A and B are shown apart, each in its own frame.
Chain A
Amino acid sequence: MIRLPNVLTIFRKEMIDLLRDRRTIFGMVVVPILIYPLLLIMFSQVLASQTERLMTRKYSLVVVGALNAPGLVEHLKTDDSWEITEAAPGSDAASSDTPLLEGAAHVVLVVPAGFLETMQAEKSATVELRFNKAKDESNFALHRAREAVEDYSAQVLRIRLQGKPDGFERPVVADENDIAPPERTSGFHLGRLLAMLLVLMSAVSAFYPAIDMASGEKERGTMETLLVSPALRSEIVFGKYLAVATIAAFTAVLHLTSMGVTFSYFFKNTLGAAKGAGLTFSIRPSSALLVLLPLIPLNLLFSALCLGLSAFARSYKEAMVYLTPVMIVANVASFSALVPGIEFNYALALIPIQNCAMLTVALLSGDWKWGHVLATFASSSVYALVALRWTWSIFQREDVLLRGGADFDWKRWLKTWGSARPGLGTALVAVIAMMALTLTVGPTLQGMKAHRLMLAHQLLIIALPAGIIAMLASLNFRSTFRIRAANPVHLALAPVIAVCALVLLTTLAAWLVDFAFFKKSALEHGEKLIETQKALGGLPTILVFMALLPAVCEEFLFRGIVLSGLRRDLGRWAGIAACGAFFGVAHQVPLVVLIVSLFGMILGWMALHSGSLLVSVVTHAIWNASLLIAQAGKVPRWLLPDKGFPAWPVVTVAALVLPAAIWAFHRARGSDEEELAGDGGATSIS
């Protein structure tokens, strides 16, 4: 229960506290208002003066073989912005390369012998323009020389065409007409840039207030005092979160407004001439307001994330270290907005940060649906809530809130080797190591025979890294990997839950696969699996290599080190959810990601409650095996009538049995050590 008055008291105090801070005001108001005009003024001043200089200055032109084309040289001499030097008669083209390289000459015109004869025969002659691309002056000189040659060419053409009707030389002309409304095209170009900046601004805006409110409070020694007050931890977290989000939203909006005003002024005045070239900047006020929409979920998410990491940190400095990766991730995600050709869809709406960037692009191009906006809002809110829940759990932990510094001690590490417990960091390292290996080592394995490939992939990429990380982090293997005897009731229920979950989730998949986004990749994925199966041979071999082996290795990684680490720092439920999501994402194919994530969460809960990895290995193996048997066509048709998807009566039975099985599983006593010892997160009071 949260008492609103307390939340508001904390919110009000944090706002007053922050607004009295000169640094906040500077970052919140002064920087956004001044930075864009200043940048633009500097940029356009330098650009304009430099371009002006390069466009109007004199360039030196060397003509080789001037005697071959007196008319052309005469034409060049009418333009007094050239300093023309004629090379000695008989010198070759390369003779002027040295001055060109040194910058003494800017462009060299080489006229071949016989130029005059070709002209008289009314044929086409070629002259050579030699230039030095590495020098700006040479580039500008080339541009001017090219125009002069084309000018001369046009003059000659007019003479040749004497007596012919107008338009003789251009029999067919195409007229191109763009029918896109101007705000859509400009939205398309500018929207990508704007989307990228939007993400960056949102991340940056939450940075300072979050650090100040959590690690700052620790550093000033007021955290303990606040925790002893009757305000609940949840009220403290919410009050602070509201303050961070408010300041961050204000800053981001100001950034955007300042940016928008500056850019539109810039486009209207400085780039007025560019309009002719098709570069227009016009965004209707309504689309400008629409851009504020993705700002809300971004703001909610970043504020929660920054606050959590800042609370986790011991000090200001440490908070900066933790928040820097967030900024880097935001950067990378925001660049995706620049990639052309990505259409917004509902699967994309599930990817945090990126969904907001792409939504901005869609909104500015005018090509969007309210459903997209809602989906983005919903998924971002869920992520923000998870981050807040994590922040709350940090506020429960006395060791994190009041811990002192500790340095690494080798002797101690050796002495206590094998007794540590994994945390969030260990879990993330394990997942990232797996993903990085998949990307780097994965492709090199492809040439192997099917069963070697499966073995190498599962052992080298999935199980081994987890084992090595556990050894390096000196983890206790028994508790990290849940190496404990299982309750027979749990083992007996595992196949039931596996089969029922498979039936229900494949039904969900059957329903979702009709979304175009899922279809293609899901079908491709299915084909690849069937290929591997064929290569492996008989069903028993298939079951060993594709059901049992992956079950053991994947459980070792995901329900072992990853779940243990996530659970300790995120709490029970957020840990299960995050572990399931990682498990899903590792499967890469969008539809499979969704289904496998859900199954991963079930596995996570089973592993935690039973306390034994054996239970989740069995469940996982039975799921794999049932799927493979069904694909091999070894199941009666009445069970799977429709393209291998279960029949409705089967689905109904599964829907009834699964809750019962889960209930029975829950009732049976497990050996989750933290549950037995009284879980820190669950028994804390506020």
Chain B
Amino acid sequence: MISVHELRKVFHDRKRGEVAAVDGLTFDAPAGTVFGLLGPNGAGKTTTLRILSTVFRPTSGRVTVMGHDVVREPHLVRKAIGFLSGDTGVYERLTPREMIGYFGALYGIPPALLKDRQDSLIREFEMESYADTTCGKLSTGMKKKVSIARALVHDPKVIILDEPTSGLDILISRVLVDYVKRAKEAGKCVIYSTHVMAEAEKLCDRVAIIADGRKLAEGTVAELKEQTGSPDLEDAFFRLFDARPDAGKAATA
């Protein structure tokens, strides 16, 4: 469903010059899987997901979502995906119901169907009590739920979540985790970025560990543990990270 091949993204930063945020990344995520992108801050997770969702154009490499190239057919990619960006916000003066309705309309959902969809999402994410309060008055966690519901309004086949649980309490996290599990069973492809290893261990079928824009390892959680001889994913991550090819260079940079 998602295929990333030799992806590179270089930013021209005034202070740092050329920054290769993603540097030759390759992975595949088939339907019915939860694919985790694991890495420390600045590893290039957000950049990768932004390219997948057509916000950024890749510098080089090929990325397809459900067979559509993100550069040549971005409109088809946008229709197919639900994207929750890391620092996403809500319209403070709209209500959760209106937020979901707005994006639903942009996705071309017919009004009658959209109404059902609004109701079922509000129920699913337990937002009934504040569905008609303007978002400015909601707490961080509530806003996040609104954003998640909004991203899923068109029942996308591909769900891209950038650190979705950061800032959420465990109750809300659980709602999200349950949703992801159900989506996977329904045959959807979920791409999930996080720096919380425990979460990835619980949820992801496959993970790719990345640092400095490069992939250090990829496999199922069990494979990675075995490969590094570690008891858990966190330990596996540390071993891979310390053994990365340009560890010395990065430390002095």
Q: Which A residues fall within an 8 A CB radius of B?
A: 5-6, 9-10, 13, 16-17, 20-21, 220-222, 224-225, 227-232, 398-399, 402, 406, 409, 412, 416, 685-686
Q: What is the bound-complex CA distance between A686 and B55, given in angstroms?
A: 12
Q: What is the bound-complex CA distance between A486 and B23, given in angstroms?
A: 37
Picked from A222, A225, A406, the residue with its CB within 8 Å of the CB of B14 is A406
Q: What is the bound-complex CA distance between A221 and B107, given in angstroms?
A: 20
Known: A225-B150, A230-B78. A412 touches B55 (CB 8 A): no
Instruction: Specify which chain B residues have a CB less than 8 angstroms from the CB of A399 in the assembled complex.
Output: 12
Q: State whether the Cβ of B169 lies closer than 8 Å to any Cβ in chain A.
A: no
Taking A17-B94, A228-B53, A409-B15 as known contacts, 19 extra A-B pairs with beta carbons closer than 8 A to each other, sorted by chain A number, are: A9-B102, A9-B106, A17-B91, A220-B92, A221-B85, A221-B87, A224-B55, A224-B85, A225-B83, A225-B103, A225-B147, A227-B54, A227-B55, A228-B54, A229-B107, A230-B106, A402-B55, A406-B13, A686-B74
Does the CB pair A221–B56 fall under 8 Å?
Answer: no
CB within 8 Å of A: which B60-117 residues: 72-75, 78-79, 81, 83, 85, 87-94, 98, 102-103, 105-108
Closest B-chain residue to A3, C-beta based?
Answer: B108
Instruction: Specify which chain A residues have a CB less than 8 angstroms from the CB of B79 in the assembled complex.
Output: 230
Interface centre among A10, A222, A399 (most CB of B within 10 A): A222
Instruction: Specify which chain B residues have a CB less than 8 angstroms from the CB of A231 in the assembled complex.
Output: 106
Q: What is the bound-complex CA distance between A230 and B78, given in angstroms?
A: 5
Q: What is the bound-complex CA distance between A394 and B86, given in angstroms?
A: 23
Q: What is the bound-complex CA distance between A370 and B54, given in angstroms?
A: 48
Closest A-chain residue to B93, C-beta based?
Answer: A20
Known: A20-B93, A220-B92, A685-B72. A398 touches B55 (CB 8 A): yes
Q: What is the bound-complex CA distance between A10 and B91, given in angstroms?
A: 13
Instruction: Specify which chain B residues have a CB less than 8 angstroms from the CB of A228 in the assembled complex.
Output: 53-55, 78, 81, 83, 85
Known: A222-B91, A229-B103. A686 touches B75 (CB 8 A): yes
Q: What is the bound-complex CA distance between A220 and B147, given in angstroms?
A: 13
Does the CB pair B89–A220 fall under 8 Å?
Answer: yes
Q: What is the bound-complex CA distance between A406 and B17, given in angstroms?
A: 12
Does the CB pair B55–A230 fall under 8 Å?
Answer: no
Does the CB pair A20–B78 fall under 8 Å?
Answer: no
Q: What is the bound-complex CA distance between A399 and B15, given in angstroms?
A: 15
Closest A-chain residue to B83, C-beta based?
Answer: A228
Q: Which B residues fall within an 8 A CB radius of A?
A: 12-15, 17, 50, 53-57, 72-75, 78-79, 81, 83, 85, 87-94, 98, 102-103, 105-108, 134, 147, 150-151
A624, chain B: closest CB distance, angstroms: 40
- Enumerate the 7 nearest inter-chain pairs by beta-carbon distance, A residue then B residue, closest first: A221-B89, A20-B93, A220-B89, A9-B105, A229-B106, A406-B14, A228-B83
A218, chain B: closest CB distance, angstroms: 10
Does the CB pair B56–A225 fall under 8 Å?
Answer: no
Does the CB pair B78–A16 fall under 8 Å?
Answer: no
Instruction: Specify which chain A residues have a CB less than 8 angstroms from the CB of B72 in the assembled complex.
Output: 685
Instruction: Specify which chain A residues have a CB less than 8 angstroms from the CB of B74 in the assembled complex.
Output: 685-686
A96, chain B: closest CB distance, angstroms: 70
Instruction: Specify which chain B residues have a CB less than 8 angstroms from the CB of A5 in the assembled complex.
Output: 105, 108
Instruction: Specify which chain A residues have a CB less than 8 angstroms from the CB of B150 in the assembled complex.
Output: 225
Does the CB pair B90–A222 fall under 8 Å?
Answer: yes
B196, chain A: closest CB distance, angstroms: 22
A243, chain B: closest CB distance, angstroms: 13
A657, chain B: closest CB distance, angstroms: 39
Instruction: Specify which chain A residues have a CB less than 8 angstroms from the CB of B75 in the assembled complex.
Output: 230, 232, 685-686
Closest A-chain residue to B154, C-beta based?
Answer: A230
A421, chain B: closest CB distance, angstroms: 10
A-B contact pairs, 8 of them (CB 8 A): A10-B106, A20-B94, A220-B91, A224-B50, A228-B78, A230-B75, A398-B57, A416-B17
Instruction: Specify which chain A residues have a CB less than 8 angstroms from the CB of B85 in the assembled complex.
Output: 221, 224-225, 228
Instruction: Specify which chain A residues have a CB less than 8 angstroms from the CB of B93 in the assembled complex.
Output: 16-17, 20-21
Q: What is the bound-complex CA distance between A225 and B150, given in angstroms?
A: 10
Picked from A221, A230, A412, the residue with its CB within 8 Å of the CB of B88 is A221
Does the CB pair B15–A406 fall under 8 Å?
Answer: yes
Q: What is the bound-complex CA distance between A402 and B12, given in angstroms?
A: 13
Does the CB pair B14–A412 fall under 8 Å?
Answer: yes
Q: What is the bound-complex CA distance between A228 and B90, given in angstroms?
A: 14
Does the CB pair B91–A412 fall under 8 Å?
Answer: no
Interface centre among B15, B81, B106, B151 (most CB of A within 10 A): B106
Q: What is the bound-complex CA distance between A229 and B105, given in angstroms?
A: 10
Picked from A9, A21, A224, A229, the residue with its CB within 8 Å of the CB of B78 is A229
Known: A224-B55, A231-B106, A686-B74. A20 touches B14 (CB 8 A): no
Q: What is the bound-complex CA distance between A220 and B116, given in angstroms?
A: 28
Interface centre among A10, A222, A228, A406 (most CB of B within 10 A): A228
B206, chain A: closest CB distance, angstroms: 24
A684, chain B: closest CB distance, angstroms: 8
Does the CB pair B89–A6 fall under 8 Å?
Answer: no
Does the CB pair A398–B53 fall under 8 Å?
Answer: no
Instruction: Specify which chain A residues have a CB less than 8 angstroms from the CB of B92 in the assembled complex.
Output: 220
Closest B-chain residue to A8, C-beta based?
Answer: B105
B232, chain A: closest CB distance, angstroms: 34
Does the CB pair B56–A398 fall under 8 Å?
Answer: yes
Closest A-chain residue to B82, C-beta based?
Answer: A228
Q: What is the bound-complex CA distance between A409 and B134, given in angstroms?
A: 42
Q: What is the bound-complex CA distance between A314 and B12, given in angstroms?
A: 17
A346, chain B: closest CB distance, angstroms: 43
Does the CB pair A222–B89 fall under 8 Å?
Answer: yes
Q: What is the bound-complex CA distance between A224 and B17, given in angstroms?
A: 24
Q: What is the bound-complex CA distance between A10 and B107, given in angstroms?
A: 12
Closest A-chain residue to B136, C-beta based?
Answer: A20
A17, chain B: closest CB distance, angstroms: 5
Instruction: Specify which chain B residues have a CB less than 8 angstroms from the CB of A412 in the assembled complex.
Output: 14-15
Instruction: Specify which chain B residues have a CB less than 8 angstroms from the CB of A225 in the assembled complex.
Output: 83, 85, 88-89, 103, 147, 150-151
Instruction: Specify which chain A residues have a CB less than 8 angstroms from the CB of B15 in the assembled complex.
Output: 406, 409, 412
A155, chain B: closest CB distance, angstroms: 76
Closest A-chain residue to B84, C-beta based?
Answer: A225
Interface centre among B57, B73, B85 (most CB of A within 10 A): B85
Picked from A6, A20, A222, A227, the residue with its CB within 8 Å of the CB of B134 is A20
Does the CB pair B88–A222 fall under 8 Å?
Answer: yes
Does the CB pair A230–B107 fall under 8 Å?
Answer: yes
Closest A-chain residue to B80, C-beta based?
Answer: A230
Instruction: Specify which chain A residues have a CB less than 8 angstroms from the CB of B98 in the assembled complex.
Output: 13, 16
Q: What is the bound-complex CA distance between A231 and B106, given in angstroms?
A: 6
B161, chain A: closest CB distance, angstroms: 13
Instruction: Specify which chain B residues have a CB less than 8 angstroms from the CB of A224 in the assembled complex.
Output: 50, 55, 85, 88
Closest A-chain residue to B81, C-beta based?
Answer: A228
A476, chain B: closest CB distance, angstroms: 14
B250, chain A: closest CB distance, angstroms: 21
Closest B-chain residue to A408, C-beta based?
Answer: B14
Q: What is the bound-complex CA distance between A221 and B57, given in angstroms?
A: 19
Instruction: Specify which chain A residues have a CB less than 8 angstroms from the CB of B13 in the assembled complex.
Output: 406
Picked from B56, B83, B102, B147, the residue with its CB within 8 Å of the CB of A13 is B102
B155, chain A: closest CB distance, angstroms: 14
Q: What is the bound-complex CA distance between A232 and B76, given in angstroms?
A: 12
B87, chain A: closest CB distance, angstroms: 5
